[in-house]
Amino acid sequence: MGDEGGDFILVFETINVAVVAVAKSLLEAEQIPYFTKNEGLQGSIGYGAVTGTIEFWVRSSDAQTARILLRDLQPQ
C-alpha cells in the first residue's frame, strides 16, 4: 500500500462478530486507521468455520499499539 504510514499488516483475527464491534471501537478511539477482511462474508453466512476469521489490518507503524489494544479480546 506504500503510503507514508507504511504497509498494512494483520494484527488481529476473530470469528466472533460481537468482538468485531469492540475491536473497531478501540482502534477508532486511538485514531488508528484499519481495514477488515472477510467481514461481509461472516455477516452474510454467519459461520466462522465456513467463512474463516474476520481479519483486522493496520499500518505497520501502528501494529504494536493495535496489538496491545486488542490483546484482551483474544480468548484465554
pLDDT tens digits, 43-52: 455 554 456 7
User: In whole angstroms, how far apart are CA 72 and each of 28, 37, 53, 56, 66?
Assistant: 16, 21, 17, 15, 11
Percent of the chain with pLDDT over 90: 62
Task: Please tell me the distance from the alpha carbon of residue 8 to that of residue 75, in angstroms, as a whole number.
Answer: 24
**Domain-by-domain residue ranges, the chain?**
8-73
pTM: 0.78
Identify whether the C-beta of residue 38 lies closer than 8 Å to the C-beta of residue 51.
yes
Identify the bridge partners of residue 9 per DSSP, sorted by sequence position.
58
Q: Which CATH class is domain 8-73?
A: alpha beta
Decide: 69 and 26 in contact? Cβ < 8 Å: yes
Q: Is the pLDDT of residue 53 over 80?
A: yes
